[in-house]
Amino acid sequence: MNTATAVQQLPQLDESTYRKRRRSRAIHDDITSLWFLLPILALFVALFLIPLLRTLYYSFTDFNGYSMDMHWVGLENYRKVFTDSSTLQGLGFTILYAVVVMTGVTVLAIPLAAVLNRKFVGRNFVRSIFFFFSVPSLAIMGMVWKYIFSPMKTGVANSVLSLIGIDPIPWLSNNALAKFCVIFIAIWAQIGWHATLYLAFLQAIPSDLYEQATVDGANKLQQFVHITLPQLTPGIVTSTFLLMSGGLKVYDLPYTMTKGGPGYSTYTVTQSIIQQGIGQSQYGIGSALAVLFFIATGIVVFLQISFSNLISRRFQ
């Protein structure tokens, strides 16, 4: 029997049988993939979905965190949240902090990354110095800068100012100055890390683009606007997302510097959730605030990502 005869004798599959086999193979591949996803799904359900549903349930009760003898109170906890002046002030400062820090870090980190991308003596040392600022936690930063910005005469900043005849400045005892100090330290502490992120994207830009632009007569500013910024768009999207999400849930820096004061000028939503829910055993109100904050954060992050994607498509 030759090869041609053997091929002719092979069973020919009709279209329906072929489709069934492809479908069964696809189902088998999906089941196999599902087994690999099960550990991740289990962690997601155990560490996120179940706590979220429990928090949603507690927000409609008067649960105090100790006794399971709770009562259904409906929307009463949500009414208290919207009528609590301290919570509203905390929400206002949290949004202000997130927006200003995101804008300030982005505006300063991109030029810094462009400078660090140039060749100069001691470049690696300078890069490591800027990155080192982001290594300590914001809580440690807050404790150190609380001493520096102390409104007393013994504070480091006021001691330096006294040498040139300037009276002590109430850095952390004035509402506006306290907000400025907290936001200033947040921007200062995060510039180095985000500049390093942008530096990685800058180093991935082909040098041929700049050489061609130079031949065409483009100056440095035109090259930065038409080459560098479009190539940095993915990095900008990532950086702004991290800054916005981190800024909305900030707690450590304002708390260690000012404890939320003076008054409630640097009070944050996260601090309100912790103090009311855990500190005052008002888990129902704390849960309601957490649910509202979760929804608000999701909306803000969604809008921020949508806006970033629009900009990304604009430069593609």
Is the per-residue pLDDT at 302 higher than 60? yes
Instruction: Supply the CATH number for residue 290's domain.
Output: 1.10.3720.10
- pLDDT of 251 reads 92
In a domain, 8, yes or no: no
Q: Over the stretch 60-93, which tens digit does the pLDDT of each residue have?
A: 998 888 878 888 988 999 998 888 888 889 989 9
Whether residues 93 and 185 fall in one domain: yes
Whether residues 227 and 278 fall in one domain: yes
In a domain, 265, yes or no: yes
Domains in the chain, number: 2
Whether residues 43 and 145 fall in one domain: no
Whether residues 216 and 275 fall in one domain: yes
Is the per-residue pLDDT at 128 higher than 90? no
Whether residues 250 and 311 fall in one domain: yes
Whether residues 294 and 162 fall in one domain: yes
- pLDDT of 113 reads 92
- pLDDT of 38 reads 85
pTM above the 0.85 mark?
A: no
Whether residues 149 and 22 fall in one domain: no
Whether residues 137 and 282 fall in one domain: yes
In a domain, 66, yes or no: no
Is the per-residue pLDDT at 179 higher than 90? yes
Q: What is the mean pLDDT of the chain?
A: 86
In a domain, 96, yes or no: yes
The mean pLDDT value for 93-111 works out to 93
- pLDDT of 2 reads 52
Whether residues 108 and 187 fall in one domain: yes
12 band by pLDDT with thresholds 50, 70 and 90: low
Whether residues 152 and 33 fall in one domain: no
Whether residues 172 and 240 fall in one domain: yes
HEC letters along the chain? CCHHHHHHHCCCCCHHHHHHHHHHHHHHHHHHHHHHHHHHHHHHHHHHHHHHHHHHHHCCECCCCCCCCCCECCCHHHHHHHHCHHHHHHHHHHHHHHHHHHHHHHHHHHHHHHHHCCCCCCHHHHHHHHHHCCCCCHHHHHHHHHHHCCCCCCCHHHHHHHHCCCCCCCCCCCHHHHHHHHHHHHHHHHHHHHHHHHHHHHHCCCHHHHHHHHHCCCCHHHHHHHHHHHHHHHHHHHHHHHHHHHHHCCCHHHHHHHCCCCCCCCCCHHHHHHHHHHHCCCHHHHHHHHHHHHHHHHHHHHHHHHHHHHHHHHHC
Domain that holds residue 49: 14-58
Whether residues 140 and 22 fall in one domain: no
| Lowest-confidence region among 66-75, 138-147, 167-176 | 66-75
In a domain, 72, yes or no: no
Is the per-residue pLDDT at 7 higher than 50? no
